[in-house]
């Protein structure tokens, strides 16, 4: 089986704490990140926790873009899984870093699916920091 998709794991550090705790703002930013990547938005769901923090997902035709924020630490964790051609998750990463005023980030990419032998055992899968 060929690689079926790519999963971007993005950690954003030293972000603007107020931005990370703004429910409407987070949803707007995440939808725009999906748009700039070239993904097709299907729908979104976001939730604000008490006393702070937001989780949400933008469902896209190519899979999903999800976020979890910890405003008290200035930290956000973002997952972007895509299984369609032409999606530029680097554009999404650039946009999110700027929108959250992140002073640092770590990005890892995991290939999903991967080559398997005739018994279904994994032959190759890559995970790399990018």
Q: What six digits make up the tokens of 78?
A: 């973002």
pLDDT digits (tens, 9 = 90+) for 40-57: 999 999 999 999 999 999
Please indicate whether residue 15 is annotated as part of the active site. Answer: no
7 among known catalytic residues: no
Active site annotation includes 68: yes
Query: CB-based contacts of 123: which residues, under 8 Å, 6+ apart?
Result: 114, 115, 116, 117
Assess whether pLDDT exceeds 70 at residue 125: no
Tokens of 7: 């999963």
Q: Indicate whether 130 pLDDT > 60.
A: no
Cα angle 88, 94, 100; round to 5: 135
Give me 40's structure tokens.
Answer: 């097709």
pLDDT at 25 over 70: yes
Give the pLDDT mean for 1-13: 86
Indicate the range of 14-23, 78-87, 109-118 predicted with least confidence: 109-118
Task: Return phi, psi of residue 106, to 5°.
Answer: -135, 135
The string of pLDDT tens digits covering residues 66-86 is 999 999 999 999 999 988 778
Query: 3-103 maps to which CATH number?
Result: 3.60.90.10
Active-site residue among 44, 55, 64, 83? 83
């Amino acid at each position: 089986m060929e690689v079926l998709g790519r999963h971007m794991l993005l950690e954003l550090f030293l972000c603007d704490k107020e931005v990370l705790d703004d429910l409407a703002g987070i949803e707007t930013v995440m939808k725009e990140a999906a748009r700039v990547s070239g993904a097709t938005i299907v729908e979104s769901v976001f939730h604000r926790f008490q006393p702070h923090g937001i989780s949400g997902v933008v469902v896209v035709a190519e899979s999903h873009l999800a976020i979890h924020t910890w405003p008290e630490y200035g930290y956000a964790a973002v997952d972007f899984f895509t299984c369609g051609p032409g999606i530029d998750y680097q554009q999404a990463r650039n946009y999110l870093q700027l929108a959250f005023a992140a002073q640092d980030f770590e990005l890892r990419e995991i290939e999903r699916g991967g080559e398997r032998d005739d018994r279904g055992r994994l032959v190759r899968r890559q995970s790399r920091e990018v």
